[in-house]
């Protein structure tokens, strides 16, 4: 399976790029069918290699074309997914940018974005802090049925930790939960998409913070041994930011959603799914944006450190993280431990975003090795893990200059940048034709002349509906399940049941 993709890629690029066909695309539509979205959904299909071409660069016109059927057959995700997931540490795949990797990154980014789109963060909603949809309706409600995944479990975290600006609470007394916040989901690819992917893909997607960046200031900038929160790390010098660690491991016995920690929820669910699909080819893909990236990295580490990804027949399921706009998570020892364990992390960032520069603004992987060596034991000496793919929003002709820091941190904007990225120094040309209007869903980043309102994504009447008596009210939502019945069995198997 482990084809050397870097070589494959080179031959492919030669095939794809010379045969350029230019078709200018106006932003406002009437162009070839590149994606379909309905109602509140924002799906893109991107399981093919798009043929990319460009004529003008600084200008606003861009060129998009779909892959001819024959070309699409040439390289399939099913054949190269291990490379896409980092088996070779993405060597040679980032510059020039591998088209399949790009479309897969966008696909996973959209699964991270789904956490925002489904999150109820309206403080005047009874369900503030919850997910708007049931797991079963999740992807359908977001018009992402084409993604071909099924949510198997939601993950909740307790807000009783020291990250005040991360959690969303209703302003109202009578709410779905006083201390829980929905923080992500576990999903599994269905049979059809698994066939196209070449394996059964288990995805964990972690929600980040909604719009504001205050939570960065809340990070205590304090590294603590990962083992101090009962994650079985053999090396006590392996440390991570204590806020991330607490968020991952804390629980609240009085809350039906948080009586298990996010960690316990995720480990039991992954164990359950690996048991179900143990006879198939499998992958574990963990994604998240912003703070969600920190949780993605931490949980990926945890899964491999605990050996959870090793099946009964001793096969190790590859664990990869596609991180978007993520902060640093731990110290150099943590980074090294990740490498030893073989957890693959690809971090997509916008160079103008301050979040990936936090924490560890002064002592990080960029200072001289000698200084870093000296600073290594300090609690504020952080190091990024994995491989970085850095993009620059200045390169997109669709985006305007702005002093708003949250724009550079916006996930939709990052996916837009990905879509236009073909390598350092290459012109910005949208590859999939992913709708740039999505950038403004929750930001004010698109140039004004595209006539896309800033922050346009909103629900009709804030979800108020008129009931049978003509009275306007917030409808009740179906109750969310807390934890599957068999969770305890898996907790036991994981040696975690004693805490309950």
Spatial CB neighbours of 187, under 8 Å, sequence gap ≥ 6: 111, 138, 139, 149, 150, 151, 152, 202, 203, 205
Spell out, one character per residue from 403 to 442, where the chain touches its own copies: x when CB under 8 A holds, - when not.
--------------------------------x-xx----
CB of 473 to its own copies, least distance (A): 6
Residue corresponding to tokens 């290594």: 376
Binding part of the chain for its own copies, among 122-130, 223-231, 259-267, 326-334 by CB under 8 A, reads 122-130
Strands lying side by side in the sheet with 344-350 = 149-158, 180-189, 200-206, 282-289, 319-324, 344-350, 387-391
Spatial CB neighbours of 74, under 8 Å, sequence gap ≥ 6: 12, 15, 49
Is the CB of 92 or the CB of 454 nearer to its own copies? 454
CA atoms of 151 and 142, how far apart (whole Å)? 12
CB of 210 to its own copies, least distance (A): 17
The footprint of its own copies on residues 20-39 (CB under 8 A) is 27-39
Interface residue with its own copies among 1, 10, 172, 374 (CB under 8 A) is: 172
Interface residue with its own copies among 70, 314, 403, 449 (CB under 8 A) is: 449
Q: Does 470 bind its own copies (CB under 8 A)?
A: yes
Interface residue with its own copies among 462, 492, 499, 500 (CB under 8 A) is: 462
State both tokens at 9: 């890629």
> Which burial class, exposed, middle or buried, applies to 422 when counting CB atoms under 10 A from its CB (0-12, 13-18, 19+)?
buried
Q: Does 452 bind its own copies (CB under 8 A)?
A: yes
Q: Does 448 bind its own copies (CB under 8 A)?
A: yes
Spatial CB neighbours of 96, under 8 Å, sequence gap ≥ 6: 13, 422, 423, 426
CB of 127 to its own copies, least distance (A): 11
CB of 446 to its own copies, least distance (A): 11
CB of 26 to its own copies, least distance (A): 10
CA atoms of 255 and 257, how far apart (whole Å)? 5
CB of 403 to its own copies, least distance (A): 18
Binding part of the chain for its own copies, among 74-82, 167-175, 281-289, 297-305 by CB under 8 A, reads 167-175
Consecutive H or E run containing 193? helix 191-197
Is the CB of 47 or the CB of 240 nearer to its own copies? 47
Q: Does 401 bind its own copies (CB under 8 A)?
A: no
CB of 419 to its own copies, least distance (A): 14
Q: Tell me if 165 sits within 8 A of 206, measured CB to CB.
A: no
List, by residue number, the catalytic residues.
Answer: 290, 353, 409
State both tokens at 290: 């912003």
CB of 274 to its own copies, least distance (A): 35
Binding part of the chain for its own copies, among 189-197, 367-375, 382-390, 460-468 by CB under 8 A, reads 460-468
| Bridge pairing between strands 344-350 and 319-324 | parallel
CB of 187 to its own copies, least distance (A): 22
The footprint of its own copies on residues 40-59 (CB under 8 A) is 40
Q: Does 126 bind its own copies (CB under 8 A)?
A: yes
Is the CB of 109 or the CB of 360 nearer to its own copies? 109
Residue 174: DSSP 8-state: S
Q: Does 13 bind its own copies (CB under 8 A)?
A: no
Is the CB of 188 or the CB of 438 nearer to its own copies? 438
Q: Does 132 bind its own copies (CB under 8 A)?
A: no
Tell me the backbone φ, ψ of residue 431, rounded to 5 degrees. Answer: -85, -45
CA atoms of 117 and 121, how far apart (whole Å)? 10
Phi-psi region of 468 (alpha: psi -120 to 50; beta: other; left: phi over 0): alpha
Is the CB of 191 or the CB of 472 nearer to its own copies? 472
Is the CB of 33 or the CB of 314 nearer to its own copies? 33
CA atoms of 188 and 435, how far apart (whole Å)? 26
Question: Interhelix angle for 77-84 vs 99-118, to 10°?
Answer: 80
Closest to 426 (Cα-Cα) out of 104, 105, 97: 97
Is the CB of 229 or the CB of 474 nearer to its own copies? 474
Is the CB of 326 or the CB of 463 nearer to its own copies? 463
Is the CB of 359 or the CB of 436 nearer to its own copies? 436
Q: Does 265 bind its own copies (CB under 8 A)?
A: no
Longest dimension (CA), the chain: 73
CA atoms of 338 and 326, how far apart (whole Å)? 16
Is the CB of 472 or the CB of 485 nearer to its own copies? 472
Spatial CB neighbours of 167, under 8 Å, sequence gap ≥ 6: 129, 159, 181
Spatial CB neighbours of 417, under 8 Å, sequence gap ≥ 6: 350, 391, 392, 393, 395, 396
Q: Does 65 bind its own copies (CB under 8 A)?
A: no
Interface residue with its own copies among 165, 473, 499, 500 (CB under 8 A) is: 473
Residue corresponding to tokens 């794809």: 16
CB of 465 to its own copies, least distance (A): 9
Q: Does 475 bind its own copies (CB under 8 A)?
A: no
Interface residue with its own copies among 3, 91, 378, 464 (CB under 8 A) is: 464
Residues that bind its own copies in the complex, under the rule CB under 8 A: 27-40, 122, 124-126, 171-174, 435, 437-438, 448-449, 451-464, 466-474
């Amino acid at each position: 399976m482990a084809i050397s993709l870097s070589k494959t890629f080179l031959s492919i690029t030669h095939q794809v790029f010379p045969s350029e066909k230019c078709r200018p695309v106006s932003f406002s539509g009437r162009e070839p069918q590149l994606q379909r979205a309905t109602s509140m959904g924002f799906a893109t299909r991107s399981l093919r290699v798009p043929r990319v071409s460009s004529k003008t660069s600084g200008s606003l016109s861009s060129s998009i074309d779909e892959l001819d059927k024959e070309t699409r057959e040439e390289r399939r995700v099913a054949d190269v997914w291990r490379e896409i997931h980092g088996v070779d540490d993405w060597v040679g795949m980032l510059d020039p940018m591998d088209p399949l990797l790009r479309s897969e990154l966008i696909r996973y980014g959209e699964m991270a974005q789904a956490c925002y789109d489904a999150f109820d963060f309206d403080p005047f909603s009874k369900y503030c802090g919850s997910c708007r949809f049931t797991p079963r309706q999740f992807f359908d409600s977001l018009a992402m049925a084409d993604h071909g995944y099924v949510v198997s479990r939601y993950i909740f975290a307790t807000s009783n930790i020291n990250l005040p600006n991360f959690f969303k609470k209703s302003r109202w007394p009578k709410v779905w939960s006083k201390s829980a916040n929905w923080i992500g989901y576990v999903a599994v690819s269905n049979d059809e998409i698994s066939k196209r992917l070449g394996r059964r893909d288990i995805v964990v997607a972690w929600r980040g913070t909604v719009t504001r960046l205050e939570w960065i200031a809340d990070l205590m900038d304090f590294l603590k041994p990962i083992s101090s929160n009962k994650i079985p790390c053999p090396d006590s010098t392996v440390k991570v930011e204590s806020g991330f660690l607490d968020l991952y491991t804390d629980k609240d016995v009085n809350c039906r959603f948080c009586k298990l920690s996010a960690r316990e929820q995720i480990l039991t669910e992954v164990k359950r799914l690996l048991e179900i699909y143990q006879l198939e080819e499998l992958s574990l893909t963990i994604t998240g944006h912003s703070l969600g990236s920190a949780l993605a990295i931490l949980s990926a580490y945890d899964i491999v450190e605990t050996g959870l990804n090793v099946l009964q027949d001793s096969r190790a399921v590859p664990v990869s993280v596609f991180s978007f706009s993520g902060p640093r998570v731990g110290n150099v020892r943590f980074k090294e431990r990740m490498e030893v364990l073989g957890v693959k992390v690809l971090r997509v960032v916008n160079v103008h975003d301050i979040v990936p520069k936090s924490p560890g603004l002064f002592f990080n992987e960029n200072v001289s090795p000698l200084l870093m060596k000296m600073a290594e034991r300090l609690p504020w000496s952080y190091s990024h893990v994995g491989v970085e793919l850095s993009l620059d929003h200045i390169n997109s002709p669709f985006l305007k200059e702005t002093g708003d820091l949250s724009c550079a941190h916006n996930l939709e904007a990052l996916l837009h940048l990905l879509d236009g990225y073909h390598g350092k120094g290459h012109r910005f040309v949208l590859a999939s034709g992913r709708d740039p209007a999505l950038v403004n869903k929750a930001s004010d980043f698109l140039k004004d002349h595209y006539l896309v309102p800033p922050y346009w994504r909103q629900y009709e009447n804030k979800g108020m509906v008129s009931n049978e008596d003509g009275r306007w009210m917030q409808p009740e939502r179906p109750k969310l399940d807390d934890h599957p019945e068999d969770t305890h069995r898996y907790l036991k198997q994981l040696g975690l049941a004693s805490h309950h």
